[in-house]
Structure 1
Amino acid sequence: MKKGQLGFLTGTHAVNDLYQGAIPAMLPFLMSERDYSYAAVSGLAFAASGVSSLFQPLFGVLSDRRPRTWLVPAGFITAALGVVAAGLSGNYPVTWLCVALAGIGIAAYHPPATSQARAAGGSSQKAMSIFSVGGTVGGAIAPSLVTLVIGSAGFDRSYLLAVPALVMAVLWGLKGPWMRSRGHVEAAPLVTGAAAKSSAHGARQADDWRAFGRLVAVIIGWSIPFVTVTSMVSLHAQRDLGQSSAAGAAALTSYTAAGAVGTLLGGWVGDRYGRMTSVRVGYLVALPALLGVAWAPTFPVLLVSAVAFGAAMFVPFAAQVTLAQDYLPHRPGTASGLTLGLAMAAGGLCSPAFGWLADSSGLRAAFYALLLVFVVPVALALRLPDRVLDTPDASSSERVEATNTTGAQ
């Protein structure tokens, strides 16, 4: 494990995903100050998550062709510009476009950074969980930062939200040569095409698109409740339970911060008991936790349920990323782009539908509908096959492909 590079990339992940978390944190302020409806703010959630996710596979393909480390700083700087511009804009169409721009920046960051983090961490689930938790921490900080800036000074001071990106850009400028000198080696695929062709058992190293398709289906089902709860839990606390905007921000912060704990826990469980254990435990705990979010009669119940749901949702996260890259060992950037991108687009695409349901029937009805949708990915996750690949320089006779008994068929 290359701890220095992994730590630095984890810091950039925190900054990048801070802007991903800033957008849902801004939604209650947009509703109160600009009179947006649930459908309107759900449309902004689509602009952030959906547009970002649609672009992410493209950046994944570009990262596979050759290392493009410059996409990492370009991504989080663009995300910051989009968020700041959305706060300063005065009408909905411009706000939507600015949020979409932020989403594209977030999309540009993830594939190259994830590939480099996997290479820096080797086969350790803990290493990937450390990188992932950087993004979760950034998302957890976002509601407090947005409340501090916009809640106290208004949207006119939105430019202050750009400070974290500017600081990290300076650090990247100082660390840039160090990153580039390692990027050509560490961003390379786990198994090169030449190695696969020279192996007498190259077929065993082939990309497993069928298993990868199953994983994409699971992540699509994961993204729908994740994006919807992220965009609505703060509103749920304020509109249904009569809490203040600060309490709503606290609920969102607790939800996203719990994801950091879940990510680290998932990495530990994956290394100790196998990554499929972390996948199954995460989904099985998340289902009743989501029921608690929908049912919550009081704010403390909502807070506990949101924390449990946020943690459980991220227990499988690192395992899903490494599993995707092992299903497609020749295309790690594409695997990251599709699983973190196109599959996540479903969450953004479906968010307006739940917003319309909330407008017509209330937020609780939207959460209960979300619960029914979530049953499908939970069932699929229990049947995912595992796949274990040796390091690229191992002989083909030492390469092992493992498939669990429930998923092999």
Structure 2
Amino acid sequence: MQSVVPALFPIIGPTMNLNYTEIGWIAFTLNITSSIMQPVFGVLADKKPLPYFLPIAMFSSLLGMLGLALAPNFISVLVSVLFIGFGSAIFHPEGSRVAYMAAGSKRGLAQSIYQVGGNGGQSLAPLFTAFIFIGTGQFGTIWFTLLAAAGMFVLFFVSNWYKQELLVKVPAAKKTQAPTEKRMLNKEIILAICLLIFLVFARSWYGAGINNFFHFYMIEKFHSSIKHAQIYVFLFMLAGVVGTFFGGPLADRFGKRTILLFSLIGAAPFALMLPHVPQWLIAPLLVLIGFILQSSFSVTVVYAQELLPGMIGLVSGLIVGLAFGMGALGAVIFGVIGDLYSLQTIMVFCSVLPILGILTVLLPSDAKVREIHQRT
């Protein structure tokens, strides 16, 4: 559902006469709504799990899809994406809890499978543009209401399973509530969570630059068609899906902080090269960057869950919601940079963001996290 919004940018940009700043505001509205509300719903889910919020979340996205299909102007587009953002905010804390409860001892693998679903859907955005919206226009989003309806049907059965699991596992969770609260007050844990949010913030800024503006960059610099430019973004996002899947099992084996460090520092050299290479080298670089950068996507959530055990909903809100949503500020800032300077400037600015990954060395190792909790 969310991937439909950036997929529409090349369509509604010319038809509604939107500038890059306005496109940035649409992306910002979608993500900031999700980011502000996710921690709220996360805290609610931790206090009182609400299984049937899952289909309700999908219904909110359905309303957003219907609104996008009929939106006549910029303001109505913003209102429509608000509903999609609310759907995401409601869905992810409860969805993360379902994945956590079904994981057993393979939390990295389980979270990877869960996140691959979201990243896989988002990676289809360029294909939606190239093969649906170029032909059907903005009204083509009406077909996605059928997808949302199917999602509601599936989630009804997931919610029933979730409700049955809660009858068994909630009493055990309540017994660990008191020590969880003490862990939250630990200064080392709080500092680690803040640093982790900052790193996710930087990573999501890079993704915002590529996902929202790289196709415009290809059109302007290399005179690509809309369809051809979207293929480059698709390669980046598809490689990210593969990286997301492999990152979880690798973290289970080599440690979560190791994969976090690798994902940012490993991508940095290729990111720095991207704005300065000829067209034939762009696709291979995007694949490498997407795979390496997103290898820590699910790992970040699992690492945060281990920093704050027993607070699965809050962790989802902070990492999947707040950090990624605040990263959507990048879409607005990049839009302003594009209008004031150039798309090349956006790409150069993005290229330095992975270097911030060097701060990962300040995070406690997996063994250190366990030691901190044992002390408390």
- Residue 255 of structure 1: aligned partner: 236
SS in 2 for 1:379: helix
Superimposed CA distance per residue, residues 227-264 of structure 1 (whole angstroms, 9 cap, x where no aligned partner)? 22211122222222211111122122212111111011
| CA positional deviation for 1:128 | 1.1
| CA positional deviation for 1:355 | 0.8
- Residue 91 of structure 2: aligned partner: 109
Instruction: Name the amino acid aligned to 1:274.
Output: G
C-alpha distance in structure 1 between counterparts of 2:349 and 2:127, whole Å: 29
| CA positional deviation for 1:95 | 0.7
Superimposed CA distance per residue, residues 196-230 of structure 1 (whole angstroms, 9 cap, x where no aligned partner)? 65x8x996797622221221121122221122221
C-alpha distance in structure 1 between counterparts of 2:82 and 2:6, whole Å: 13
| CA positional deviation for 1:165 | 1.5
**Aligned pair 1:127/2:110, yes or no?**
yes
The match for 2:371 among 382, 397, 401 is: 401
| CA positional deviation for 1:149 | 2.8
**Aligned pair 1:344/2:324, yes or no?**
yes
C-alpha distance in structure 1 between counterparts of 2:222 and 2:60, whole Å: 36
C-alpha distance in structure 1 between counterparts of 2:7 and 2:211, whole Å: 9
C-alpha distance in structure 2 between counterparts of 1:196 and 1:168, whole Å: 33
Instruction: Name the amino acid aligned to 1:368.
Output: V
The total of aligned residue pairs comes to: 370
Contact 1:290 1:371 survives alignment (8 Å) = yes
Contact 1:53 1:107 survives alignment (8 Å) = yes
- Residue 215 of structure 2: aligned partner: 234
C-alpha distance in structure 2 between counterparts of 1:371 and 1:140, whole Å: 20
Quick one: structure 1 residues 382 and 294, their matched pair in 2 at CA, closer, same or farther if it must change by over 3 Å? Answer: farther
C-alpha distance in structure 2 between counterparts of 1:210 and 1:337, whole Å: 17
Quick one: structure 1 residues 43 and 185, their matched pair in 2 at CA, closer, same or farther if it must change by over 3 Å? Answer: farther
Quick one: structure 1 residues 185 and 143, their matched pair in 2 at CA, closer, same or farther if it must change by over 3 Å? Answer: farther
**Aligned pair 1:322/2:305, yes or no?**
no
**Aligned pair 1:264/2:234, yes or no?**
no
Quick one: structure 1 residues 364 and 61, their matched pair in 2 at CA, closer, same or farther if it must change by over 3 Å? Answer: same
- Residue 336 of structure 2: aligned partner: 356
Q: Which structure 2 residues correspond to residues 63-74 of structure 1 after superposition, within 5 A?
A: 63-74=45-56
| CA positional deviation for 1:169 | 1.7
C-alpha distance in structure 1 between counterparts of 2:232 and 2:257, whole Å: 30
- Residue 303 of structure 1: aligned partner: 283
Identity across matched positions, percent: 25
**Aligned pair 1:284/2:254, yes or no?**
no
Q: Which has the higher helix share?
A: 2
The match for 2:126 among 120, 129, 143 is: 143
- Residue 87 of structure 1: aligned partner: 69
C-alpha distance in structure 1 between counterparts of 2:330 and 2:159, whole Å: 38
| CA positional deviation for 1:121 | 0.8
| CA positional deviation for 1:43 | 0.9
Superimposed CA distance per residue, residues 41-65 of structure 1 (whole angstroms, 9 cap, x where no aligned partner)? 1111101112221111111111111
SS in 2 for 1:20: coil
C-alpha distance in structure 2 between counterparts of 1:306 and 1:23, whole Å: 22
| CA positional deviation for 1:321 | 0.2
- Residue 372 of structure 1: aligned partner: 352
| CA positional deviation for 1:110 | 0.7
C-alpha distance in structure 2 between counterparts of 1:83 and 1:382, whole Å: 42
The match for 1:195 among 164, 168, 176 is: 176
Superimposed CA distance per residue, residues 317-366 of structure 1 (whole angstroms, 9 cap, x where no aligned partner)? 12110111111113221111011111122221232111111112211111
Instruction: Name the amino acid aligned to 2:363.
Output: L
TM-score by length of 1: 0.83
- Residue 32 of structure 1: aligned partner: 14
Q: RMSD value over aligned CA atoms? A: 2.6
- Residue 42 of structure 1: aligned partner: 24
**Aligned pair 1:385/2:368, yes or no?**
no
Quick one: structure 1 residues 102 and 35, their matched pair in 2 at CA, closer, same or farther if it must change by over 3 Å? Answer: same
C-alpha distance in structure 2 between counterparts of 1:206 and 1:119, whole Å: 25
Superimposed CA distance per residue, residues 262-289 of structure 1 (whole angstroms, 9 cap, x where no aligned partner)? 0112112112212222111111122123
| CA positional deviation for 1:402 | 6.8
Compare 46-55 and 139-148 and name the one that shifted more. Answer: 139-148
C-alpha distance in structure 2 between counterparts of 1:309 and 1:284, whole Å: 11
Q: Which has the higher contact order (CA 8 A, sep 6+)?
A: 2
Contact 2:241 2:294 survives alignment (8 Å) = yes
Q: Which runs of 5+ in 2 are unaligned?
A: none
